[in-house]
Structure 1
Amino acid sequence: MPALNTLHDLYVKQLRDLYSAETQLLDALPRMAAAASDSTLRTGLERHLDQTRVQAQRLDSLFMDLDCTPGGHTCQAMRGLLAEADELLRRDAPPAVRDAGLIACAQRVEHYEISAYGTAAKLADTLRLPHHAERLRLSEREEQAADLSLSAAATPINRAALGPATAALR
């Protein structure tokens, strides 16, 4: 495990954490999209998969700029968040309830990514890497937009998940 002697070392560690998070998502999002019964949710997850590929490429370019490699680190936070999503997918649930659970899992992921990109952008600012900060903030805004999209999808899906026993709550 490399030492963290400088702010630059910490910045590279944060970028590696983000890269690991994004590559883990590249594996998980297809499973999540395939499990979604709501077409809007499925399309949103598939669109985010495409966006995740672009974000990973963006991070690759930052590593090239720094002349270092992205590998050698596993984002444990993302591993845990995706383990929760996998657990949800193994459970027996009505389609709308599963979709509501997928949204919950996906929003936790988005919130983690929003925080991680914001932190890395602030470090890039401090290190006087404005090009890096700009690219990281672009990814942060994309994650915020994905979160808002999930929130919009949640309203009808959550209502559908109420089921007939709780129809009066609609």
Structure 2
Amino acid sequence: MPTTKKQHNHESKFHELFVDELKDIYWAEKSLVKALPKMYKAASSEELQQCIASHLEETKEHVARLEHIFELLGKKAQAKKCEAMAGLLTEGQEVIDETDMDSAVRDAGIIISAQKVEHYEIAAYGSLKTLAKVMGHDVIANILESTLEEEKNADVMLTEVAESTVNEAAAAE
């Protein structure tokens, strides 16, 4: 009997961790919805702008998916400040502030900042998906998997933009 209580307590702590991490990435995604248009405006490469615009639409979808996940868990969608994303976005804004307008150097900096964001999100969604699976939340794990794949694709697209034009142009400036 005592084992069951301890086990139940352990599971609820695990569930709390999961929900806490969801609140964290929810804040991160909502903040990205605000930050991506600034990156778009600051970018001069048309390819990079298209990449950012496309990911902005996905990011809005990620916010909606997270709201759906909270709903599936019977919880109110709640954001908790994500210090990591706040730091990454501040760093991204510094890159924009410290580089010349309409420059490939700025575009290269924006790509670096955006990829740091993507890698953070890939880590967060990968972990959340794993936690969901362990708890038997298969539907939620599948939703998280969809977002994870989109984050990975965004990262690949950013690499392609960097390698196809931006880095060469930035090195030449």
- Cross-structure match for 1:142: 150
Q: Are positions 1:121 and 2:129 aligned together?
A: yes
Cα deviation code 1:29-57 (max 9, x no counterpart): 00001110000000110110000000110
- Cross-structure match for 1:163: 172
- The question of whether the paired residues in 1 share the 8 Å contact of 2:55 and 2:154 is answered with yes
- Cross-structure match for 1:168: none
Query: Equivalents in 2 of 1:77, 1:128: separation in Å?
Result: 28
- Cross-structure match for 1:36: 43
Q: Are positions 1:89 and 2:132 aligned together?
A: no
- Cross-structure match for 2:82: 75
Q: Are positions 1:55 and 2:40 aligned together?
A: no
The AA in structure 2 aligned to 1:87 is E
Cα deviation code 1:80-116 (max 9, x no counterpart): 0000011111113361000000000000000000000
Cα deviation code 1:102-143 (max 9, x no counterpart): 000000000000000000000000110000000001100000
Q: CA deviation at 1:5?
A: 5.5
Identify which of 92, 116, 121 aligns with 1:108: 116
- The question of whether the paired residues in 1 share the 8 Å contact of 2:24 and 2:79 is answered with no
- Cross-structure match for 2:32: 25
- Kindly report structure 1 stretches of 4+ aligned residues shifted beyond 3 Å: none
**What SS does the corresponding residue of 1:6 show, helix, strand or coil?**
helix
Identity percentage of aligned residues: 39
- Cross-structure match for 2:17: 10
- The question of whether the paired residues in 1 share the 8 Å contact of 2:26 and 2:79 is answered with no
Query: Equivalents in 1 of 2:99, 2:169: separation in Å?
Result: 17
The AA in structure 2 aligned to 1:108 is K
Unaligned runs of 5+ in 1: 165-170
- Across the aligned residues of Structure 1 and Structure 2, the Cα RMSD in angstroms comes to 1.3
**What SS does the corresponding residue of 2:141 show, helix, strand or coil?**
helix
The AA in structure 1 aligned to 2:132 is A
Query: Equivalents in 1 of 2:32, 2:72: separation in Å?
Result: 24
Q: CA deviation at 1:72?
A: 4.6
Query: Equivalents in 1 of 2:96, 2:78: separation in Å?
Result: 28
**TM-score for the superposition, normalised by structure 1:** 0.91
